Each structure stands twice: as C-alpha cells, then as structure tokens.
Homo-oligomer: A and B are copies of this chain.
Amino acid sequence: MQKVLNGKFLKKGEYTRHTILEKAFEISYKKGYQATSIDDIIALTSVSKGAFFYHFKNKDEMGLAMINEIMYPGMYEALVIPLNEDKPATQSIYDMIKSILMETPAFDPQYGCPAVNIIEEMAPLNVSFKKVLSGLVNETQNTLEKVLLKGKEEGRIRKELNVKQSSMFIITGYMGIRNLGKLYGVDCYQEYLKELKRYLSSIE
C-alpha cells in the first residue's frame, strides 16, 4: 500500500487496474476502441494478460470501466468545473469550448474528442456503452442548461430562448467540429469558434 495517485493511497491491485484503464484510454483514443487489442494494452503497461483478466472479466467490461473511471472525471474537469465559474453565461460557454479545443494538450485535433469518438463507434453496437455514454452527455447538457438558465435570470439571455434546444445545439456543434477537425486540423477550429461566438451573441 505505497502507490500514490492524485494524492490518494491505492492498494497495488487498484493501481494496476487504473494504469490499465489509462493506457487503454490512450491507445483507443488514437486507434479506436475495437481496433485496440488487449495485447496492445498489456504491451504498453507491462502487465500480463493474466493480470488484465484478473481485473476485468472481458474487454467490454474494461471499456465500460474506462468510460466511468477515466472519461467521466475528465469530462467533469474540462466541462462542469469551468462552467461553474462566475462569468456571463455566453462568455462562460465560449471560454470552456475554446479551452477544450485549443488548450488541452492531451487532445490532438486529428484524433478528435475521446468521448465523441466512442459514442460514434460503440453506441450503435452495444447497449451498455450507449447507456453510460448517454449519461455522460446528459450531464454535460444539464450543466449547459443551468448556465443558460442562470443567464436568463440575470437578464443576459433572451427570455424566449428554449434552453434545452439551445444547449443541444451547442453540443452538436462541438461534436461536429471535433469530427471536421479530423480532416482539416486546428484551422477549422478557429473559424468554428468565430461562428459559435456569433451564434452565442444571437441568443443574448
């Protein structure tokens, strides 16, 4: 019991489990989830196949754990926390999206957004993935809605605005630009952000 992660002490087993998930996240972000083999993962972790299957009863259980234990907290840090800062609603949303797009070194435009990728790939194929990913998107949309609603109350956003509709529209834009970025790189991020700003000012 001497391994440390984020200031927490972990049992050895918990630590290896977590590194497996982290490495699986890294590889599947670039190669896709299905194309990432268990052999790929254990090669990068220098953990044996026996250890892998001690912690996860099959690949998909690992994949679900990866979403819950790596991507969920990552989404929280990149999205929920910044949106709770005390700024005008539209500014807060714009800054958050710009920050995710331009200032997250772990994300490479050519590989898009891990969450978007795995939705695209796995939601149609596996109901368990679909459920847990729906939960993740629900949370981000709820957070956006709250910000827009608060903006309304502060009189900074149009009273007639349908916040559910608008927050969904913002999310689809983000998902789309992450996809387009795979073709055109950061250049198209800039143009997207400009038009996003225009859209946001249109709801003020």
Contacts and interface: CB of A to CB of B under 8 A. Distances in A.
How many identical chains are in the complex?
2
A173 interface: yes
A153 B76 CA distance: 46
Contact of A34 (B32, B172, B180): B32
Interface in A154-204: 162, 164-166, 168-169, 171-177, 179-180, 182-184, 188, 191-192, 194-196, 198-199, 202
Interface of A: 30-32, 34-35, 110-112, 116-117, 119-121, 123-125, 130, 133-134, 137, 162, 164-166, 168-169, 171-177, 179-180, 182-184, 188, 191-192, 194-196, 198-199, 202
5 contacts: A32-B125, A169-B192, A171-B176, A172-B192, A176-B179
